[in-house]
Amino acid sequence: MSNLTLPKDNITIVLTRSILFGPVSVAPLLIFLYINGVVLFTLRSKPVFRETPRYVLLYNLIFSDTFQLAVGQLLYILAYVYVFMIRYLCVIIIMSAMLTTDISPYNLAVMSLERYVAVCFPLRHSAFVTAKNTGVSIAVVWAICGINTIIRIFMLILLESSPLDQYMLGFCAKETLYKQKLFYDFDKAFTGVTFTSVGIVILCSYFGVMTAAKSASSDKASTSKAKKTVVLHMIQLLLILSSTLFSPIVTAFSYKVDRPTLERIYYILFLCLVNLPRCLSGLIYGLRDQTIRPFLLYHLSFVGILMTEISPYNLAVMSLERYVAVCFPLRHSAIVTIKNTGV
């Protein structure tokens, strides 16, 4: 355990940096968590949202994205302040995150099919897309992803030799849990099947909507809106697919740069590849929907005012900390303490 113990001065520096720069690094994701939370609350606040299949599917999508975003944010904060955890706790967190990560693509496929039925079979839409059928489709999506998660748990138990009741020697992440090549082969296979099948479903839905748009009897406004929605699903699927590039890129840079540079690269990739696709669901769908938009804009105006008031002061304190570090290096540790930073 000696290699995990930091000198007192280093601990002070780490904690001071975490308190000063932590809010800046986590603030964007906290804002998006707030946005998703507002949309989720809105979708459960009125009977029309709870009983309409389209909104039920949207709730499932944003819920899974929000959960994955929250777990990713938690793991980033723990890594940022150098907190290690017991292995079995990390397994629970990582498996939960992987489960919700897998749900989003399949949910997009179901949402595209719902739009296809609404445009191509408008008279039978209410018979096909019922609350019961929507619940069954959501249950099937969770079952598929749950089976995949169970397989991964068994692979961890059977293939990895590290005890689950010991503290990890690294940060909690999928890469530190699984070291066998077989897992990554399985992960690539499942990811390939998922995105190929979902992509085919979304493309077929798009071409079906395009065909309906050429019909003289179709509702042009509804068809145009459905077409844009399906295109949005495809773009979002591609963004989620880009998150699979995160681990290979981080691994490649880990052999070429020092640790501080790697941490900055990790955060940028974590923000752009992993979290950005999850952040966009609540914002885009909330702003596009005429019913949800008033609730979202009202709450966004509140958080916008709050962030406008706080950010300048936090930046001023950060600037003062850098001034003391450069101009008074010998007194920096005495002036910039944990207590003073908290104050």
* Tens digit of each residue's pLDDT (9 = 90 or more) over 77-101: 777 777 778 888 888 888 888 888 8
Q: Which residues pair with 167 in a beta bridge?
A: 86
Q: Read off the pTM.
A: 0.75
In terms of pLDDT, which residue wins out, 226 or 313?
A: 226
* Tens digit of each residue's pLDDT (9 = 90 or more) over 125-169: 888 888 888 999 999 999 999 998 899 888 888 877 777 777 777
Res 21: pLDDT = 52
3-state helix vs strand vs coil in the chain, percent to 5 = 85, 0, 15
Report the C-alpha gap between 54 and 17 in whole angstroms. Answer: 45
Res 138: pLDDT = 93
Are the C-beta atoms of residues 179 and 160 closer than 8 Å to each other?
yes
Longest distance between any two alpha carbons in the chain, whole Å = 79
- The radius of gyration computed from the CA coordinates of the chain, to the nearest angstrom, equals 23
Query: Which region among 63-77, 98-112, 326-340 has the lowest average model confidence (pLDDT)?
Result: 326-340
Q: Judge whether residue 300 has pLDDT over 80.
A: no
Res 33: pLDDT = 83
- pLDDT average, residue stretch 109-138: 87
